[in-house]
Amino acid sequence: MDRRCCIKHGLKVSQTQPIARFPTTDKRCPQGWQYFDGTDSCYWLRDFTYDQGYWKLVDYQLADEGCKKMSAQLVSIHSEEEDDFVYDLISSYVGNMTNVVVNNGNPCAYLMVWSGLYSKGAINDGWWSDGTPVDYLGIGVYPMGLGYQWLLRNDRSCGRAEWEPNNSDRYFARYVCKIRSE
C-alpha cells in the first residue's frame, strides 16, 4: 500500500497494521532482521528493552557501538520508500504506558529511535555514519543553524511521526541498524 496517501496532520497512518517484529524468514538477512528490497539491505530494531522494570536508554555513542558489534551501522535513509519502511519498523503505541521510564517520565519523550544522521537539516549537509551522502530528509526536518544527531519516531498514541534533532548525549529507548543483505 502506498502510505503517502495517508499522511494526516504530519502523522503517517496506515490502513494496515505495522509490520510484525518476528524473525525474518528471508535468507538474505540474519535472524531477527527485516529485509527491504528497495535497498537490498537488512534492518534491525533494538526495540524497547527493560532493565530493572524500566526501559534501558542509550545515547548516540551506545547506539552506534551496538550496531558496530553486529558489523552494521546506524540506519541511513535515502528515499521516501525506505523512510516508509523504517517508519513501519519503528511504529509503536506507548502513550498510555506507565512506569516504563525512571521517575514515571513520559514514555512519549523517550520512544525515539537513533539514526546515523548528523546534519543541520538540509540536503547535502552533514553525513550519515555509514559514509553515504545526505540525499534525502524525511518529515519534520527543517534547516537549523547548528548540526545535530537526528532521531525518528512514529507513535500514533503520542501524536508524533517525524525526524527530530537532538544532542548526542541524550538518552532514548531505541535505535535501528542497517547492513547490506547477504
Comparing C-alpha atoms, which of 74, 60, 84, 85 is closest to residue 139?
84
The amino acid present at 12, given as its one-letter code, is: K
Residues 180 and 35: their CA atoms lie apart, in Å, by 9
Q: What tens digit of pLDDT does each residue of 2-46 get?
A: 333 333 333 333 333 333 444 455 789 999 999 999 999 999 999
Number of Cβ within a 10 Å radius of residue 124: 8
Residue 59 to residue 144: CA distance in whole angstroms: 21
Q: Return the C-alpha cell found at 108.
A: 512519549
Domains of the chain: 3-180 (3.10.100.10)
> Mapping DSSP to helix (H, G, I), strand (E, B) and coil, where does residue 174 land?
strand
Give the whole-angstrom CA distance, residue 66 versus residue 52.
20
Cα–Cα distance for residue pair 43/32, rounded to 1 Å: 9
State whether residue 38 is helix, strand or coil: coil
Q: pTM for this one?
A: 0.85
pLDDT per residue as tens, the chain (182 positions): 333 333 333 333 333 333 344 445 578 999 999 999 999 999 999 999 998 889 999 999 999 999 999 999 999 999 999 999 999 999 999 999 988 887 778 899 999 999 999 999 899 999 999 999 999 999 878 888 788 999 999 999 999 999 999 999 999 999 999 999 98
Which among 138, 132, 136 is positioned nearest to 113, based on CA atoms?
Answer: 138
Give Dmax (Cα) for the chain. Answer: 44
